[in-house]
Chains A and B, each alone.
Chain A
Amino acid sequence: AQKITQTQPGMFVQEKEAVTLDCTYDTSDQSYGLFWYKQPSSGEMIFLIYQGSYDEQNATEGRYSLNFQKARKSANLVISASQLGDSAMYFCAMREPYSNYQLIWGAGTKLIIKP
């Protein structure tokens, strides 16, 4: 069964606009972690932001914020004031506590920022 769903295979956004990348997840555990990673065309995997299931506040890291809606099981990434350098693949991933903390990955969203 699909545990992480990213419904947007690709997105085009105008530079300086905010963008929301969708992620829904499925787990029966109460304790879990949600991650977003950026993968530019060079291939490396860059950590962006983390949200723990017990965190009461939405995580923020600079221009990145995570819109965590626990009841809906969604963990959308919001990028404010997008820049050309934000063009990349973005992956949502979940860590479950009883699986040796391995990450389960979504299929990714390819984000292209237009000048």
Chain B
Amino acid sequence: EPEVTQTPSHQVTQMGQEVILRCVPISNHLYFYWYRQILGQKVEFLVSFYNNEISEKSEIFDDQFSVERPDGSNFTLKIRSTKLEDSAMYFCASTQIDNEQFFGPGTRLTVL
């Protein structure tokens, strides 16, 4: 069964460093998403990506964040200069229009 994969599973970084979180969505899906979940809190939408461009982003997704689909399979989330409050679980998801959103296993980001 096809699945969304994410790497790394855990990332520890120093405040101010750049991080890149990687995702491989399911190949025939059309929409891609990044969500984050701060420990013990609800899941928050960050950004959606369709047709090789950002289709919608939340207020959390400020200039420190960017997304790319560099090679038609990977989907990356970059945080340019990490802050302590960026520590969270980051989920990538992909979907056809009317089906469930398939989630990756998540990347746990810890900013020290």
CB within 8 Å for A47 and B48 given contacts A100-B31, A101-B97:
no
B18 interface residue, CB < 8 Å from A? no
Secondary structure class of chain A's binding surface, majority of residues: strand
The reply to whether B42 and A47 form a contact with Cβ atoms under 8 Å apart is no
Please state if B108 and A47 are interface contacts (CB–CB under 8 Å). no
Docked-complex contact A47 and B45, CB < 8 angstroms: no
Say yes or no for B103: interface residue by CB 8 A criterion: yes
Q: Is B101 an interface residue (CB 8 A)?
A: yes
Among B35-85, those with CB < 8 Å from A are 35, 41-45, 48, 50, 55-56
Q: Mark B82-95, 1 if CB is under 8 A from A, else 0.
A: 00000001010101
CB-CB under 8 A from B101, the residues of chain A are: 35, 47, 95, 101, 103
Closest 7 CB pairs of A and B: A45-B103, A105-B43, A100-B48, A100-B55, A100-B56, A107-B42, A44-B105
Tell me the B residues contacting A by CB distance below 8 Å: 31, 33, 35, 41-45, 48, 50, 55-56, 89, 91, 93, 95, 97-98, 100-103, 105-106, 108
